[in-house]
Amino acid sequence: MKFGVVVFPGSNCDRDMVYALRDGLGCPTRLIWHQETTLEDVEGVVLPGGFSYGDYLRCGAIARFSPIMTAIVEHAHQGKPVLGICNGFQVLTEVGLLPGALTRNQGLHFVCDRITLKVDNNQTSFTHLYAKDQRVTIPIAHGEGRYYADAETLAQIEDNQQVLFRYLGENPNGSLNDIAGICNSKGNVMGMMPHPERASDPILGGTDGLTLFKSLLESMNH
């Protein structure tokens, strides 16, 4: 089982992600430069957080045209796991692998905090090691994290149990339905604004995020 972490120009959470997967999880992990075109040697793909292409136009709007994205779309269509964190989530919505969009935070400020989430659906490969409705503490750091989808799409993802995490307490960005993380209808592509890799080692103040990676690894090994 090997992970690949994609590096776009401006990614800044790629090495933290490698640390979480390689040191926290014990999985072989390599960085994938965005100009690469194949994913042959990796089974799990992670798009990390950061400021790809300086967030020009919209966060993720340029990165989604990077050469590696064709292989990632193919990987996802084959039912293999793709995880996007923060900027990675934004890229996945821009490329159409996840529904909806991440728009400018309601307060128009970049928010950087440690917040509480609720695990809404623990029946997915990304969340099965959490308890249903478990409260988890995970850091956030974003300027465009306000989840938006049209009414029909929103109803569809709610009916389909595609909302995996919701903000508990104060909604930090104005996301519809307090949505912090979702998956696609097949359940193999997931994106979330909070940063589980920043909650993957006790030295960082918590390990609630590591459970997500453990869930994924366990489901991939079965």
Ligand X SMILES: NC(=O)CC[C@H](N)C(=O)O
Residue ranges in contact with ligand X by CB under 6 A: 49-51, 55, 59, 86-87, 110, 141-145
Has 94 been annotated as catalytic? no
* Closest CB 88 distance from ligand X, rounded Å: 7
43 is catalytic: no
Nearer to ligand X, 49 or 196 (CB): 49
Between residues 144 and 208, which has the closer beta carbon with respect to ligand X? 144
Of 13, 75, 183, 197, the catalytic one is 197
Distance CA 220, CA 208 (A): 20
Is residue 44 within 8 A of residue 18, CB to CB? The reply is no
Q: How far is the CB of 199 from ligand X (least distance, A)?
A: 14
Q: Are 196 and 189 spatial neighbours (Cβ–Cβ below 8 Å)? A: no
Shortest reach from residue 191's CB to ligand X, in Å: 11
Q: Smaller CB distance to ligand X: residue 106 or 122?
A: 106
Sheet holding 82-85, edge to edge: 29-33, 3-7, 44-47, 82-85, 189-192, 179-183, 163-167, 111-119, 135-142
Considering the candidates 27, 59, 86, 183, report the single residue annotated as catalytic.
86
Residue 13: DSSP 8-state: S
Query: How many Å apart are CA 135 and CA 215, to the nearest integer?
Result: 16
Does 86 participate in catalysis according to the annotation?
yes
Q: Which tokens belong to 9?
A: 């120009």
Q: How far is the CB of 19 from ligand X (least distance, A)?
A: 16
Active site (catalytic) residues: 86, 195, 197
